[in-house]
Amino acid sequence: MKLVIGTDEAGYGPNLGPLTITATGWMLEDHVDHENLYSHFSSVFCRAGEKEDRIQVGDSKTMFRPSGGLGSLEHSVLALCLPGYQCHAAGVPVQLIDSSWSELLDYLLVQPRSDFVLPWYKKFNPGLPVEANVEDLGRKTLQVKKWLEEPIAEYGATKQLPHFRQISDVIEPAEFNKGCEQHGNKASLLSAKTLQLAVNLSKLFLENSTLAERVSDVFVICDKHGGRNRYAGILQSFFPDCWVEVVEESGPYSQYRFDHHGRQFVFRFLAKGESQLPVAYASMISKYLREVSMKAFNSFWVARVKGLQPTAGYPLDARRFRTQVEGHITKLGLEESQWWRAR
């Protein structure tokens, strides 16, 4: 068996709102071509834009347009997250759709959020789905639930072992600013946070004693971080007892491999990594988490500042937004670092 992990982020460039990062993990039989999972899982998933009754997956930039709302992105994200939440909720029964935003975060996030002290989150907890059609989403969640319950061939009749899981990190401005100072720049912060997620997700699978006996290879596919090509140093810091071998460092991709506790680990940092299904799903989940977080942010401010237009948080418009709300920020007693990303 092999474990394949895909990672991607949303919100790397804005001054407002969180940076969100997700890792998705897929347990696969050795013969499966993990670089062609769209074909392997063609009964469940299809590429974005294919008008079929399957789960559309693709780069979040193609799945989400602000003018079109969250619906299409939410359909695909929740179709996979909600059944997983039910399967992995430690025996606690939950409805596939009758869940809330906070329950989804409890499932996805590797650690509890500390930023709910921010005023725009205090009373924000919509039911799910936020915008997607409930009946359509219900059909798709049941489709994914059936897929999740199918046994992997090498496990025979055993259906209780996880073969898909996802975890996320939501990094609000205060943590983002502190992390940039600690790591020197935001590209290094992104790499550190992404690799930590990948390591944490691999542990969720490999610390399962039954799975650990069967997994011989771990493949981690990351979308490239800020255009950088060299990752050997930061990988070595996460695996100090291993010798990280540089296989390739180039514009199209950078690849590394090493042995860790008897398994071969391969890390590939790929330009346009969203072409791979595990990365594309990570991209979509990250985008969804950021967009709903921005919905909380914008709803709070639009209700308080007359005539204020919402913002996506990117630099030019963020400065406009900042000028309009700055007096109210002062009244709330917030420090600049709590809501404004310096880089």
Which DSSP string corresponds to 23-51? Answer: EEEEEE-TTS-TT-HHHHTTTTEEETT--
Q: Is residue 46 part of a domain?
A: yes
User: CA 272 to CA 59: how far, in whole Å?
Assistant: 9
Q: What is the mean pLDDT of each run of 10 residues along the chain (343 residues)?
A: 94 96 92 91 85 81 78 89 59 58 88 73 91 86 78 48 82 95 93 96 83 86 88 96 96 95 94 91 95 96 95 96 91 90 90
pTM for the full predicted model: 0.93
Tell whether 85 is covered by a domain.
yes
**What confidence score (pLDDT) does residue 333 get?**
86
Burial of 8 (0-12, 13-18, 19+ CB in 10 A): buried
**Full domain range(s) for residue 129:** 2-296
CA angle 318-322-324, nearest 5°?
A: 120
Residue 303 within any structural domain of the chain: no
The answer to the question of residue 320 being in a domain is no
In the chain, what's the furthest Cα-to-Cα distance?
Answer: 63
Q: How many domains does the chain have?
A: 1
* Predicted local distance difference test score (pLDDT) of residue 89: 44
- Can you say how many angstroms the Cα of residue 147 is from the centroid of all Cα atoms in its chain? 21
DSSP secondary structure, 262-301, as one string: TEEEEEEEETTGGGSHHHHHHHHHHHHHHHHHHHHHHHHH
The answer to whether residue 137 is domain-embedded is: yes
Residue 276 belongs to some domain of the structure: yes
Q: Which residues of 265-278 are buried (b: 16+ CB within 10 A; e: fewer)?
A: bbbbbbeebbbbbb
- Supply the pLDDT for residue 141: 83
**Model pLDDT, residue 312:** 95
Whether 218 and 3 have beta carbons less than 8 Å apart is answered as yes
d(C-alpha 154, C-alpha 143), whole Å: 22
pLDDT at 156: 46
Is 306 part of a structural domain of the chain?
no
In contact, 32 and 41? CB cutoff 8 Å: no
In a domain, 23, yes or no: yes
Residue 267 sits in a domain whose CATH number is 3.30.420.10
